[in-house]
């Protein structure tokens, strides 16, 4: 990986959105659409944003917030702030430094980076890059079609020092498709994630793709195999939250995969309250899908999420300026989160709760 240079930051960046405009000019249109688009008619992509825009923040002046901070402990780890980098595949599509750049940036900022099963660099090299600037990254697992290879992949991540593991279940069927350039591959997989050939007269969906998707039984089995905390990503129904907790999951991520899988799924933020009510504090609940700035982070946390996963915005930073761009995006959101906390009279994340939230804007 080439040395990131501070002078590579684009000029006049004040928000993550400024990186979006910059990145749009750097990426080829096919890769850009792959990154930005939602599935189907984009209903869920739009619903995610509408949910955040409908929430409001209620300023509470005159509170003494000196000494305030954004630290938290989660899954046995200490984090400087609750803004995690979501597992995004094939990051060498966006910058030659790929996942290693994101890892260095996240670690330098004291936060977590979820490395995708579909990373374009080896788990070991990404972990090494991360430890150059801070702690090890965390691992996101896609089910590998059957148990044995799935287990081998988790063992490899564990051996490479990934302390926490998250199983993604909101994308059993690969919907967004992209012709990968030859140099960019899912280098950590034993074989590509493809569908089974369906039997004669069988359905390519039910008997093809879904034949290789995990089930609740597989989740129970996986939980038994693992020593590290296991998080489940892709929960939108309270009954599924309940089920996951009973099977021993250590955390949940409310997510619609950034509006990239089932178009028509509800906004994650809209689904959050009912899930929190059912979980009732038994495990941390994280929020993924729709975060664009630090005020959105505040909104999700004030509803009760413990942390958030940031997606497209850090890829804008990665595309624009590699590791420094990613670190800058994290810093911008963190500053906005701190500003929101200060203006709403919150000294620590524990102070965020419903009383800080206002009426629907």
Considering the rule CB under 8 A, would residue 58 count as an interface residue with a copy of itself?
yes
Number of residues that bind a copy of itself (CB under 8 A): 77
Question: Closest Cα to residue 164, out of 194, 210, 189, 130?
Answer: 130
Considering the rule CB under 8 A, would residue 12 count as an interface residue with a copy of itself?
no
Work out how close the CB of 63 gets to a copy of itself at its nearest, in angstroms, rounded to a whole number: 7
Tell me how far apart the alpha carbons of residues 357 and 103 are, in angstroms, rounded to a whole number. Answer: 33
**Contact range with a copy of itself by CB under 8 A, out of 121-129, 156-164, 206-214, 310-318:** 206-214
Considering the rule CB under 8 A, would residue 57 count as an interface residue with a copy of itself?
yes
Q: Give burial (CB, 10 Å; 0-12/13-18/19+) of 6.
A: exposed
Question: Closest Cα to residue 188, out of 127, 117, 99, 88?
Answer: 117
Work out how close the CB of 98 gets to a copy of itself at its nearest, in angstroms, rounded to a whole number: 28
Name the active-site residue from 22, 81, 95, 257.
257
**Contact range with a copy of itself by CB under 8 A, out of 67-75, 84-92, 181-189, 321-329:** 67-75
Considering the rule CB under 8 A, would residue 200 count as an interface residue with a copy of itself?
no
Choice between 59 and 181, CB closer to a copy of itself: 59
Q: What share of the chain is helix, strand, coil (3-state, %, to 5)?
A: 45, 10, 45
**Residue choice 245, 344, 349, 352 for contact with a copy of itself (CB under 8 A):** 344
Considering the rule CB under 8 A, would residue 302 count as an interface residue with a copy of itself?
no
**Residue choice 10, 26, 37, 53 for contact with a copy of itself (CB under 8 A):** 53
Considering the rule CB under 8 A, would residue 186 count as an interface residue with a copy of itself?
no
* DSSP secondary structure, 270-305, as one string: HHHHHHHHHHTTSS-EEEES---SHHHHHHHHHHT-
**Residue choice 33, 69, 155, 282 for contact with a copy of itself (CB under 8 A):** 69
What distances in angstroms separate CA 10 from CA 1, 15, 23, 106, 293, one per listed residue? 20, 12, 10, 19, 19
Considering the rule CB under 8 A, would residue 206 count as an interface residue with a copy of itself?
yes
Q: Give burial (CB, 10 Å; 0-12/13-18/19+) of 124.
A: middle
**Contact range with a copy of itself by CB under 8 A, out of 99-107, 151-159, 210-218, 223-231:** 210-218
Tell me how far apart the alpha carbons of residues 327 and 318 are, in angstroms, rounded to a whole number. Answer: 9
Considering the rule CB under 8 A, would residue 197 count as an interface residue with a copy of itself?
no
95 is catalytic: no
Q: Give burial (CB, 10 Å; 0-12/13-18/19+) of 196.
A: middle
Please give the helix or strand (H or E) that residue 311 lies within, else none.
Answer: none
Please list every residue from 226 through 265 that binds a copy of itself, using CB under 8 A. 234-237, 240, 243, 256, 261-265
**Residue choice 96, 159, 205, 354 for contact with a copy of itself (CB under 8 A):** 205
Q: Retrieve residue 220's tokens.
A: 């129970």
Please list every residue from 271 through 290 that binds a copy of itself, using CB under 8 A. 271
**Residue choice 295, 306, 313, 352 for contact with a copy of itself (CB under 8 A):** 295
Work out how close the CB of 181 gets to a copy of itself at its nearest, in angstroms, rounded to a whole number: 20
Tell me how far apart the alpha carbons of residues 268 and 263 are, in angstroms, rounded to a whole number. Answer: 13
**Contact range with a copy of itself by CB under 8 A, out of 26-34, 50-58, 129-137, 305-313:** 50-58
Q: Give burial (CB, 10 Å; 0-12/13-18/19+) of 101.
A: buried
CA angle 190–217–209, rounded 5-degree value = 50
Catalytic residues, by residue number, are 257
């Amino acid at each position: 990986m080439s040395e990131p240079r501070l002078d590579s930051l684009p000029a006049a960046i004040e928000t993550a959105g400024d990186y979006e405009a910059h990145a749009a000019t750097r990426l080829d249109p096919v890769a850009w659409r792959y990154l930005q688009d939602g599935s189907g008619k984009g209903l869920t992509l739009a619903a995610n944003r509408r949910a955040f825009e409908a929430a409001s923040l209620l300023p509470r002046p005159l509170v003494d917030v000196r000494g305030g901070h954004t630290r938290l402990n989660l899954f046995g780890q200490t984090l400087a702030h609750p803004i995690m980098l979501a597992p995004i595949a094939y990051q060498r599509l966006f910058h030659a430094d790929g996942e290693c750049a994101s890892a260095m940036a996240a670690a330098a900022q004291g936060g977590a980076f979820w490395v995708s099963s579909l990373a374009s660099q080896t788990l070991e090299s990404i972990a090494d890059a991360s430890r150059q600037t801070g702690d090890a990254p965390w691992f996101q697992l896609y089910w590998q079609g059957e148990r044995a290879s799935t287990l081998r992949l988790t063992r490899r991540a564990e051996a490479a020092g990934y302390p926490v593991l998250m199983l993604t279940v909101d994308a059993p069927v690969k919907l967004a498709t992209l012709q990968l350039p030859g140099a960019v591959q899912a280098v950590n997989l034993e074989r590509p994630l493809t569908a089974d050939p369906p039997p004669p007269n069988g359905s390519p969906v039910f008997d093809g793709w879904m034949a290789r998707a995990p089930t609740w039984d597989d989740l129970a089995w996986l939980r038994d195999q693992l020593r590290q905390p296991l998080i489940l990503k892709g929960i939108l129904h309270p009954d599924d939250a309940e089920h996951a907790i009973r099977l021993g999951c250590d955390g949940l991520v409310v997510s619609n995969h950034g509006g990239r899988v089932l178009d028509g799924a509800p906004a994650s933020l809209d689904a959050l309250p009912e899930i929190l009510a059912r979980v009732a504090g038994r495990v941390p609940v994280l929020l993924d899908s729709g975060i664009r700035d630090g005020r959105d982070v505040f909104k999700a946390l004030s509803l009760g999420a413990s942390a958030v996963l940031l997606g497209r915005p850090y890829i804008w930073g990665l595309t624009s300026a590699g590791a420094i761009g990613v670190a800058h995006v994290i810093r911008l959101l963190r500053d906005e989160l701190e500003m929101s906390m200060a203006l709403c009279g919150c000294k620590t994340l524990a102070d965020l709760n419903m009383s800080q939230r206002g009426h629907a804007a």
